[in-house]
A and B are shown apart, each in its own frame.
Chain A
Amino acid sequence: MSDMRLLVIEDDSDAAAYLVKAFREQGFSVDHAADGLEGYALASEGDYDVLIVDRMLPKLDGLSLISSLRAQKIETPALILSALGQVDDRVKGLRAGGDDYLAKPYAFSELLARVEVLARRKAGFGGEETLLRVADLELDRLSHKLTRAGKDIVLQPREFRLLEYLMRNAGKVVTRTMLLEHVWDYHFDPQTNVIDVHISRLRGKIDKGHAVALLHTVRGVGYMLKEDPDGVGKGDEA
């Protein structure tokens, strides 16, 4: 992860110091800008993998900053952090060119998971390839066929989308809200662990009867699809 470069644009010095420290501990190299103009200058010159942009910034607000970057054809993935968490604010943030939106207060593990997914996108992983493969699990996006160790597995359409998302982000932690947003396409707060049930059903279909489990639960954060179980639990440190 040492090759990943982050730019944190946040005017609150405490929050910025916390983010810089926490991401450095995760192996990112992190720059910090304290206002919108400085952030814009750094983002348009430096080669960053992900921008973390506070929505309300002095001199140039977060949304204008991102739209200006997009107008300059700078497509660095940007995650908007905002104290405005309502549905409309979220939509506005994504329309302005943001790639993800996280309302304050947030769990660092959630932010980390989202940043890693964005960084991966920038690196060109999980693009439009039609065949996804994790260990002996193969998913064909065109024929909607799934096999593990050469044996066919039948999935419900939603389970297929769920697995597809997990496989595209294999090796990365995905949180429950990320799954709700990208697999179910709803941004809401369930009181019941609805996602867990779907995951355990999926797990029953892909892992049952196999020596190596691929779908892991990362306690307190979310899930990860990964061949090597050693990496599991990394996100738990938050």
Chain B
Amino acid sequence: MKALSAILRLFRTTAFKIAFVYSLLFAFATGAVVLVIVHNLGVLLERQIIETVDADIRGLADQFDQGGVNQLARIIARRIARPGAEIYLLTSFTGAPIVGNVAALPLGALDASEPVETSYRRAGDEREVHRAVARIVSFPGGFKLLVGHDIEERNLLRRLVRRALLSTFFWLAGLGALGGLFVARRVLKRVDAMSASATAIMGGDLSGRLPTDGSGDELDRLAQNLNAMIERIEALLKGVREVTDNVAHDLRTPLTRLRNDAEEALRQPDGPVQRKALEKIIGESDQLIRIFEALLLIARAESGAGPAMQSVDVTALANDAAELYEAATEDHGGAFASDIAADLFVKGNRELLFQALANLIDNALKYAGAKPHIALSARREGARILLAVADNGPGIAPHDRERARDRFVRLDDSRSTRGSGLGLSLVSAIAHLHDGTFRLEDNAPGLRAVIDLPAGEGTSHVGSGEAAHARLR
């Protein structure tokens, strides 16, 4: 049963079907070509036979003209005495044979005026019926002369060729099918191996790869591409796992604190201690909400389902940010410098871009240390708008810069400081939403965070507030 199903499976393979159809087509084409050749050969041979017979008749007619029927009969008699002679029959006006080597003819065979193919029996060998091509001529006095040529040999040749053809046909079909089977089995084996690996990978072992043999053929390329795909999926899943781990950590920690504070509040009698614990609880939940909001925003930005894009006056935006944060920086005992070019516009969302700038400045303030020096610059470089926030903090080591933009990553030395860990990844998501990039550079010393956006068009308008922002009066 197993062998049968294996064979059935083989028959169902594409390779086998292709091989089978090709061998059939090839066999039929070969057969057709040989048949045409044989037919043409037959026609040619027949024409030659008729020509020979006609020449013979012309010679014998001359003899009749010279010596009458007697001389003709004499010559025919002499000819049929030789072995392998042609077929001759001379009859009188009554139809009675005068001389010849034909023992029997079908009725009416002597009435034909054109060359005919007819059966006959040869004198001296009367049991066997032969086939011949013959022409009949009439002479004065009612004499009729039949001259013919035996075509048994030609027919034998034809039969031989037909038989050879048939066997060739079967050989070709058989060999083709066998070849197909061979190729199909080879391919099937590799596909089976790929299929088995794929099943294992689907089972959850994403470190597995499909077998490749380096031959570079279609199957090999397919396996390589599938492997590349699996690699990408593995990387994505790893990223998701890392994010969920970090989410678990960053949400569990404040949730635990929240719970502890609530339990603490419950244990205390009414009073200032309980009140303080409750205030802490509100603080913790605000932090959780902030993380949650940032995650939602990142998810929306990353999925490209961002808000409507409008022309944003980046010059005004950067000036607003500088104005808002300058005081805070000075309050920290630092200095805030800004270098903002005029007439900078991008197509985007004003609120999100401002949030991105604010995140960068907040970040700089958080890490720049006791005397923060923060420099905000906005300028145009070709078709790009570069928004940069530089600080004089410890910076981020080159190998950590890529990771720093990931969700929830707080580099180890900052794990303990408060913050959602989402600030930079939110900036990154916002930059991507605006078809831009976000990169971290060395400010030597410190960190330089650059938002690189495609420049848009716009006109300077006073009072950059959107109409939709209801101004309360």
Contact = CB atoms under 8 A, between A and B. Distances in A.
Contacts of B286: 107
A86 B464 CA distance: 20
Given A86-B297, A88-B308, A107-B282, A192 B325 contact: yes
Nearest to A185: B465
Given A86-B296, A168-B473, A95 B365 contact: no
Interface in B447-472: 464-466, 468-472
A117 to B, nearest CB: 6
B279 A220 contact: yes
Interface string A210-233: 000000000010000000000000
B344 to A, nearest CB: 17
B17 interface: no
B419 A191 contact: yes
Nearest to B467: A95
**Residue in A121, A168, A190 whose Cβ sees the most chain B Cβ within 10 Å:** A190
A187 interface: yes
**B351, B361, B419, most chain A CB atoms within 10 A:** B351
Contacts of B358: 188, 190-191
Interface string B287-326: 0011001001100100000011000000000001001110
B289 A191 contact: no
Nearest to A101: B470
Interface stretch (A12-20, A63-71, A144-152, A193-201): A193-201
A105 B323 contact: no
Contact of B354 (A127, A128, A186): A186
Interface string B27-66: 0000000000000000000000000000000000000000
Given A88-B307, A192-B365, A121 B473 contact: yes
B212 interface: no
A185 B323 CA distance: 13
Contact of B472 (A100, A107, A188, A220): A100
Interface of B is mostly: helix
A234 interface: no
A91 interface: yes
Among A88, A118, A128, A193, find the residue whose CB has the most chain B CB atoms closer than 10 A: A88
Contacts of A128: 473
A58 B75 CA distance: 125
Interface string A75-87: 0000000000111
B327 A197 contact: yes
A197 B331 contact: yes
B51 to A, nearest CB: 99
Contacts of B355: 188-189
Given A87-B307, A190-B362, A220-B279, A99 B472 contact: yes
**Looking at A128, A158, A184, A197, which has the most chain B CB atoms within 10 Å of its CB?**
A197
B423 interface: yes
Contacts of B90: none
A186 B320 CA distance: 9
Given A85-B293, A105-B289, A193 B307 contact: no
Contacts of A118: 472
Q: Which 5 A-B pairs have the closest CB atoms?
A: A88-B307, A191-B362, A197-B327, A185-B465, A188-B355
Given A87-B307, A127-B473, A192-B365, 15 more contacts: A85-B296, A86-B297, A88-B307, A91-B468, A107-B286, A121-B472, A126-B473, A158-B323, A184-B324, A185-B320, A187-B351, A188-B358, A192-B366, A193-B328, A197-B327
22 contacts: A87-B307, A91-B307, A91-B466, A94-B468, A94-B470, A98-B470, A99-B470, A99-B472, A100-B470, A105-B289, A107-B286, A121-B472, A158-B323, A181-B469, A186-B351, A186-B354, A187-B351, A188-B358, A190-B362, A191-B423, A198-B327, A200-B331
